[in-house]
Chains A and B, each alone.
Chain A
Amino acid sequence: MTELWNTLVYYFSFPFVQYAMIVGLLIALCSSLLGVTLVLKRFSFIGDGLSHVAFGAMAVAIVAGLTNKMIIIIPVTVLSAILLLRTGQNAKIKGDAAVAMISVGALAVGYMLINAFSKSANVAGDVCSTLFGSQSILTLTKSEVWVCIAMAAVVLAVFVIFYNRIFAVTFDESFAKATGVKADAFNLLIAVVTALIIVLAMNLVGSLLISALIIFPALSAMSLFRSFKQVIICSAVISVICAAAGIVLSVLFSTPVGSTIVCADIAVFIVFRVISMIKER
């Protein structure tokens, strides 16, 4: 056990492991805060759809040979979030059908582009690390960490400043509208912030596992707590602890980072559900 601890301490002396932990915790915190709202508003699947769009955008950036892929990924994902929400109200193709269409469409086009036009010798590696995170979180540069900190700060600030209005829009849009809140605009804001979190989280767990980061902590917290504030706090704590545990375990035992974090989330979800069932008896 002491040797394991020494190895862990030794590994954490490497800058890239420290960067991974900082970014991982920030992403986990941001995603859990919005997760509660998204789950309650039935926006869970929008997160999944947007993550696939982000994969498609990243494929375009890879094919274009861009060093900084964020220039394409952020605008495309944010635009898709806006389109999904806006057209969802008026368009002929609505709701889950629109999300599914954009989701699989972006995935297919992205994969085709990478295979057909990528100059990289390791297409399988590119796809693997984009879809499942692979080692991406352990290969961050210092400037990427700063970008992540800045974006996480923006997301946290939005959530803290507009907590009351997000709360109102989440539970009762009619009430919110009646009292002067432009609920549509706040829905749009939630979608935009979700898009930003998804872009951030691609480095941590990959685009296919992002939804888990958003959904599981929220559902786990809802199993035991009832008030909005309690659920938000519990969700944030669960998400941060699972991310930390996942990163530590994956560094120690060489498991894929994203999958390990999600497995930790699943384990906590099962434990919380069991506790909830016992309490209800």
Chain B
Amino acid sequence: MFGKISAVIISAAVITAALSACGDTSATDTLIEKNESAAAFVLTTAATTTAAAPAETSAATETTAAADNLSGETETDDYLSYVPPVETKSFAEGIDAKNGDIDVDLTILNATMTYSQVYDMMTNPDLYAGKIVRARGTFAYAHDNDRDYFAALVQDATACCSQGIEFVTAADMKYPDDYPPLDSEIIITGRFHSYKEGTFTYIELLDAEVESV
């Protein structure tokens, strides 16, 4: 928070410093106001043609760049027809993703919303502690420090950013026999929990059930 406040102070200080060098301009203001009221200044043809032409060139370049970056797939499936249940109850700052017995059901959200919601869960883990969460993602496995890590990877709509939700199954399962194939799509349901390793906070679902999609 201190850093953010200092960012605002820095920007305000820079603007103030720049303004202090602008001098007394009251004479100009008066002249401009007179001119404006007498005959509204117009964008002269010369100004438009000389100044706007190069800008149009760069605008065309931007058009190409924007078109190139629209390769992300658009999802227009049944997410759009989802209507939230009437008797839903929010539990944290207006978040309302309850669906039956599930407190936060990420499977009813589209890719953009799911990614953003998972990000929110990572940045505000305390709000979700103990809640029942259901999520859809691709199955991932890692072995580190003599420990097995299982996760569902949730990707954003452009598939360039992904976040993992770790899970620990309720049943005693052996890897790889009892687990789905790597990179296959799964739905996990479990109790939300977060833990810290070093400076990083990780989220996981405990007592999880895994379903292959």
Complex Cα spacing A11 to B94, Å? 11
Contacts of A39 in B (CB 8 A): 51-52, 55
User: Which of A7, A18, A122, A256 is B83 in contact with, Cβ under 8 Å?
Assistant: A7
Docked Cα-Cα span, A4 to B41, in Å, equals 46
Shortest C-beta distance, B50 to chain A (Å), equals: 8
**B23 pairs with A185, CB closer than 8 A:** yes
What mask results when residues 159 to 176 of chain B are scored 1 for a CB within 8 Å of chain A, else 0?
A: 011100000000000000
Q: In the bound complex, do residue B23 and residue A180 qualify as a contact, i.e. CB atoms below 8 Å apart?
A: yes
A contact residues around B145 at 8 Å (CB): none
- The answer to whether B112 and A41 have CB atoms under 8 Å apart is no
Complex Cα spacing A168 to B80, Å = 50
Interface positions of A from 1 to 22, Cβ below 8 Å from B = 3-4, 6-7, 10-11, 13-18
Residue of A nearest to B43 (CB): A226
Chain B residue contacts of A226, Cβ below 8 A: 42-43
> Are A135 and B74 in contact (CB-based, < 8 A)?
no
Main secondary structure of the interface of B (DSSP, over half): helix
**B73-117 contact mask (Cβ, 8 Å, vs A): 1 or 0:** 011100111111000001001111000000000000111110111
A122 touches B162 (CB 8 A): yes
Within 8 A of B (CB), among A224-260: 225-229, 231, 250-256, 258-259
Q: Does B149 contact A (CB under 8 A)?
A: no
Q: Does B38 contact A (CB under 8 A)?
A: no
Which B residues are CB-close (under 8 A) to A185?
Answer: 18, 21-23
| Complex CA–CA separation, A128 to B160 (angstroms) | 6
Jot down 8 A-B pairs with beta carbons below 8 A, ordered by A: A70-B4, A154-B11, A154-B12, A180-B26, A180-B28, A181-B28, A185-B18, A219-B55
Starting from the known contacts A254-B111, A269-B59, 11 additional A-B residue pairs (CB-CB under 8 Å) come to: A14-B94, A41-B51, A44-B58, A67-B3, A68-B3, A139-B116, A139-B119, A180-B28, A181-B23, A209-B65, A228-B42
Chain B interfacial positions (CB closer than 8 Å to A)? 1, 3-4, 6-8, 10-12, 14-15, 18-19, 21-29, 31-33, 40-43, 47-48, 51-52, 54-56, 58-59, 62-63, 65-66, 69-70, 72, 74-76, 79-84, 90, 93-96, 109-113, 115-117, 119-120, 123, 156-158, 160-162
The 8 closest A-B pairs by CB, nearest first: A68-B3, A128-B160, A70-B7, A254-B157, A125-B161, A138-B116, A179-B28, A185-B21
